[in-house]
Chains A and B, each alone.
Chain A
Amino acid sequence: MTDATSDKFDWAAPAFQATLRKRKRSQLWLKSLGLGAILIAFAMLFLLVGSLISTGYHAFTQTHLRIDVVLDADLIDADAPERGNYRQILTNTMQAQFPDVADDRAALRRLTSILSNGAQFTLRDMVVADPGLIGQTVTVTVPVSDPYDQLAKGLIDSDTPEENRRLKDDEIANFNRLAEAGMVSKPLNWGLITNADSRFPELAGLKGAIIGSAYALLICFLLSFPVGIGAAIYLEEFAPKNRVSDLIEININNLAAVPSVVFGLLGLAVFIGWFGMPRSVPFVGGLTLALMTLPTIIIATRAALKAVPPSIREAALGVGASRQQVVFGHVLPLAMPGILTGTIIGLAQALGETAPLLLIGMNAFITSAPATPFDSATALPTQIFIWADSPERGFVSRTSAAILVLLTFLIAMNAIAIYLRQKFERKW
């Protein structure tokens, strides 16, 4: 036996102090690396949201023009007000504002183009709704067309040489005269969510996309929630543990990782090809998204079921509850917060999914909001895709605004998920 006292470890030895310092250094390194990673992530997020807001905020207002319109009885047939020549009425209105402009067609057309193309339809709808207006003068506030909207928002640089500019000097001067007359206003652009899509940016809105997305998500939820929970309960609680169930489990995990465009192709082939369902409808979109959401929900539900402590199962089994009573009376209620969280996150993922919807044609140009899930519609992400592809300047800011709307929905859904988790979380 060696002498224990002489072998006693010397805590003050320089060699030990050196390792101690090394240990502290590496700890510091790890900490600063983690902190750096988080800072980078935050910076990226800030950059993303910042750039979206800086381009998108323009779309939250829309330049309007308040004009007095003479609803000339010569131009509107009182028996068929829907077929009146409202275009001519608007031309006359604009000509009255600018009596000095030459009375030739080209010059007049340029004047009228200050107004949105939708203005004539606004007038028509007014008159159709109240034919008594014919012959009177009404004051209406109508959107201005995209180039003038850009001008009013300061997005057209007057230093650009005239030939490279969308609006020539005289057009800018005309618009400035209107502005000086106090006829131009820039109210909040509710049209962004109350209008359906349009070829004209000043009229384009997200109503069709929001309703289409809502229908698609509803269908997706109705299908994937019960099926997903059912599958998870069977696999977790009742299925015998053997090779077949192992194989199923591996495949479900793989399905969760399958690129969404593949689900889109599947939806195209099966729902539209075989079953002959219509194209571009939220119903098919929902079915396709459900295929994609199912594995997410199954995995989340199984994890939530697994997290219920075995002591609760034993307790229930111990007083003579059947397997089914244990699951539905105890395990499922306790797992519900986890299941709901997983489901909402799955649905949020489905809400942002674009590729499968492109494949089933939900990127069609549709100018009315769907009334049922079986009407053609777009969805929010596909609407963003369409707008991002459009050449008109006005769609640049609208694309960003639409992304912000989509992000708002996603944040809201995640907030609900967090709230549910906090509220129903149980401590054992």
Chain B
Amino acid sequence: MYDLKKPEHDVDQAKTKISARGVQVFYGDTQAIKDVNVEIADKTVTSFIGPSGCGKSTFLRCINRMNDTIDICRVEGEITIDGHDIYAPDVDPVQLRAKVGMVFQKPNPFPKSIYDNVAYGPRIHGMTRNKAELDEVVETALRGAGLWNEVKDRLDTPGTGLSGGQQQRLCIARAVATQPEVLLMDEPCSALDPIATALIEDLIDDLKQQFSVVIVTHSMQQAARISQKTAFFHLGNLVEYGDTDTIFTNPRDERTENYITGRTG
């Protein structure tokens, strides 16, 4: 039913990168996330699956504090990255977001040149000292996103002129350029065709060599193909979390089983 042939699974050896304990999220009076506890491993792809509105995107956005930008949103509980509480008062969310990159559902390149799109992060954080270094960072990031060969001759053309799949890889390059430790992806392939999706999935597999990737997806095939760990969310609860193989072949919870076999969702 699902393609479960995955190359290597050294999940148990990977150390914990992100740890969430008792996380609850409220939008005004509505509770979106109810008591989520999860440990996300380093250098692993972790996918969040679940029906629409189950809170998986909300939880993802807690990890880089994007929810801070929503006035009525309130986060309780503790989320740590490498043991440091990211909601501690001395943590600057702006700096955190450079370390925890994010790729969004709809490709959203800035209406600037391809070069400026990738260079934006390094520039605002002052990560390079001169133009040559910046050029190198841009090239590395674009190579890392598998886009370099397609755009190297037209770096000064607008990023919005690329195709949807290229735009999304540009967004990945932009996120990678700030050398993040974690990459969050919120349904990165939902607006793309199957070929572009396959490219991005290959890319995600490469990226996990460098950092922990957390991906929200509605495609269970995709979760099965690319992730080592899977978390199933339902109505704001984290129902089940474990190795992707186990979740898809032998789920413990009935709700998980119903969802992955297509009976609910």
Interface residues of A (CB under 8 A from B): 240-241, 309, 311-322, 325, 329-330, 334, 426, 428
Contact = CB atoms under 8 A, between A and B. Distances in A.
Contact of A320 (B71, B94, B103, B171): B94
Given A240-B71, A241-B71, A428-B160, A318 B101 contact: yes
Interface string B152-186: 00000000100000000001001101100000000
A234 to B, nearest CB: 15
Interface in B71-102: 71, 94-99, 101-102
Interface of B: 64, 66, 69, 71, 94-99, 101-104, 106, 108-111, 120-121, 124-125, 160, 171, 174-175, 177-178
B184 to A, nearest CB: 8
Contacts of A241: 71
Nearest to B95: A320
The 3 A-B pairs at the shortest CB distance, nearest first, are namely: A320-B98, A311-B108, A319-B121
A83 to B, nearest CB: 70
Contacts of A329: 120, 124
B80 to A, nearest CB: 19
B124 A320 contact: yes
Residue among B71, B95, B111 facing the most chain A CB atoms (10 A cut-off): B111
A282 B177 CA distance: 54
Contact of B178 (A240, A314, A320, A325): A320
Contacts of B175: 318-319
B152 to A, nearest CB: 22
A321 B71 contact: no
Contacts of B174: 315, 319
A317 B104 contact: no
A307 to B, nearest CB: 13
Contacts of B102: 314, 318
A312 B117 CA distance: 11
20 contacts: A311-B104, A312-B110, A312-B111, A314-B104, A315-B110, A315-B171, A316-B110, A316-B120, A317-B66, A318-B104, A318-B175, A319-B174, A320-B94, A320-B99, A320-B121, A320-B125, A320-B178, A329-B120, A330-B110, A426-B111
B106 A311 contact: yes
Given A319-B121, A320-B178, A325-B124, A314 B66 contact: yes
A334 B120 contact: no
A330 B104 CA distance: 17
Given A320-B97, A329-B120, 20 more contacts: A309-B108, A311-B106, A313-B69, A314-B102, A314-B104, A315-B104, A317-B66, A317-B69, A317-B97, A318-B97, A318-B101, A318-B104, A319-B98, A320-B99, A320-B124, A320-B125, A320-B178, A325-B124, A330-B110, A428-B160
A314 B108 contact: yes
Contacts of B66: 314, 317-318
